[in-house]
Chains A and B, each alone.
Chain A
Amino acid sequence: AQSVTQLDSHVSVSEGTPVLLRCNYSSSYSPSLFWYVQHPNKGLQLLLKYTSAATLVKGINGFEAEFKKSETSFHLTKPSAHMSDAAEYFCVVSDNQAGTALIFGKGTTLSVSS
């Protein structure tokens, strides 16, 4: 069975400093992995997805993630945090090839201070 574990429930950074949100996955086959972001009172938005092409995936708003099979990790990074990055972030694995049955991690709340 597929699963994801987000290692931090809350991460606090200062504006302009790097962001690291950690995610480990478990999958019985080559997984499709995603990062979604949810801003308060807004819908979920896809940041990026990994589908076994390049292991370093670039997403929107300067975010990127690296798939490391040996470590079963898919950590999300951004070189410089912006106040508008404050939101909840979900690491997600697809439970089917079509990507229509997603398994979500518990989420990491990112706080950004000025």
Chain B
Amino acid sequence: KAGVTQTPRYLIKTRGQQVTLSCSPISGHRSVSWYQQTPGQGLQFLFEYFSETQRNKGNFPGRFSGRQFSNSRSEMNVSTLELGDSALYLCASSLGSSGSTPDTQYFGPGTRLTVL
């Protein structure tokens, strides 16, 4: 099976602009989670989508949003970019089943966003 893919791999934007990142999960996976990785704050959970609905949300401002399509592909949008949004954005997919034990999350390679 193909792994989790993220596009684009690299992005350069300027302050005030907006950006959209894309994530294609592993075939059959219905859950997509997004994470931000920075040197200062480490890896932080942004949000999770399951069956086109946001199921969990981390502690990020409303400038960060996402959506999921019927084929489970997900997009993440950041509006009014700030310098501090420069980071590696990772998405992870999993089956999203509601069993008694958590599913394994499979991570993509990430999108490196630089805000100038």
Using a CB–CB cutoff of 8 Å, the interface residues on chain A facing chain B are 32, 36, 42-46, 49, 51-52, 90, 94-107
Contacts and interface: CB of A to CB of B under 8 A. Distances in A.
Q: Is the interface of A mostly helix, strand, loop or mixed?
A: loop
A43 B107 contact: yes
Interface of B: 3-4, 31, 33, 35, 42-45, 48, 50, 55-56, 58, 90, 92, 94, 96-98, 100-110
Contacts, number: 78
B31 A98 contact: yes
Contacts of A107: 42-43
Contact of A43 (B48, B98, B104, B110): B110
A80 B26 CA distance: 33
Contacts of A95: 45, 56
A98 B110 contact: no
B42 to A, nearest CB: 5
Nearest to A6: B42
Nearest to B32: A100
5 contacts: A96-B102, A97-B100, A98-B102, A99-B105, A102-B35
